Structures are given as C-alpha cells and as structure tokens.
C-alpha cells in the first residue's frame, strides 16, 4: 500500500523565521510528488517534482526531491502570517489511473 508521511505534524514559528517541511513516501512505481497549501478551503497547487535534485522555486518557497531518499522538503524563508496553512504533500504513482496519495499534512502557524 502506498504511503506518504509528513513531518512535523504541526509547527509554530514567528514572522521572519525559515521553516523546512518534510515529506517521505513509499510508493510503487513513483511518478511525481506534489505540494499543496490549504487554508480554509481549496488546496492550492505549489509545486510538482519529478526529477531528483532539481529545486523548484517560487518567491520565498522552494522544494526539492530526493528520489534516493524517497523524500522531499518544502522550504519557506522569511515567513509571513499569510503562510499559516496546512501544507499537503501528495505522490502520484506511475500506474493506470489518476490517483494521488496524500500525506497527513503539516499545520504551520506563523505568529506576528
């Protein structure tokens, strides 16, 4: 059974801090790993990673995949209160169908 585990479960930081969120996976026939941010409603797409070692970056957020270690990290620098959300990691296996396996999420709270 495919499995995605995120850590930490929750995190409280102050504005300006840098955070690193972790995602590890056990998936048969891995295709890609996706990061989402969920505030009160829809998860919004952040990154999709398919190749190991290549960093994807968008403003203060960046992510990298390590296929050897079966893991990915999401970094947020100079955190702001608007970064407070649940960050979800999901993995897509390379089989027929359209299934994503989600991790349990990391709840990030950024205090002023």
Partner 1 sequence: DTEVTQTPKHLVMGMTNKKSLKCEQHMGHRAMYWYKQKAKKPPELMFVYSYEKLSINESVPSRFSPECPNSSLLNLHLHALQPEDSALYLCASSQQRAGTGNSPLHFGNGTRLTVT
Chain contacts with partner 1 (rule: CB under 8 A): 31-32, 34, 36, 41-45, 48, 88, 90-92, 97-100, 102-105
Read off the DSSP letter of residue 9. Answer: S
**What is the closest distance, in whole angstroms, from the C-beta atom of residue 100 to partner 1 in the complex?**
5
Question: For residues 18 and 50, which CB has a smaller minimum distance to partner 1 in the complex?
Answer: 50
Pairing of strands 106-111, 85-93: antiparallel
Question: For residues 18 and 94, which CB has a smaller minimum distance to partner 1 in the complex?
Answer: 94
Q: Are 8 and 24 within 8 A, CB to CB? A: no
**What is the closest distance, in whole angstroms, from the C-beta atom of residue 62 to partner 1 in the complex?**
17
Question: For residues 20 and 44, which CB has a smaller minimum distance to partner 1 in the complex?
Answer: 44
16 DSSP β-pair partners: none
Rounded to whole angstroms, the Cα distance separating 25 from 39 reads 23
Question: For residues 14 and 31, which CB has a smaller minimum distance to partner 1 in the complex?
Answer: 31
Residues 6+ apart with CB under 8 A from 85: 37, 38, 39, 107, 108
**What is the closest distance, in whole angstroms, from the C-beta atom of residue 59 to partner 1 in the complex?**
18
């Amino acid at each position: 059974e495919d499995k995605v585990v995120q850590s930490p479960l929750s995190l409280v930081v102050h504005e300006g801090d840098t955070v690193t969120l972790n995602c590890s996976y056990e998936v048969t026939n891995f295709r890609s790993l996706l990061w989402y941010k969920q505030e009160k409603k829809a998860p919004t797409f952040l990154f999709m990673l398919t190749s190991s070692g290549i960093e994807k970056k968008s403003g203060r957020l960046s992510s990298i995949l390590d296929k050897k270690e079966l893991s990915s990290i999401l970094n947020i620098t100079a955190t702001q209160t608007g970064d407070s959300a649940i960050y979800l990691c999901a993995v897509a296996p390379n089989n027929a169908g359209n299934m994503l396996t989600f991790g349990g999420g990391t709840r990030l709270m950024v205090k002023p």
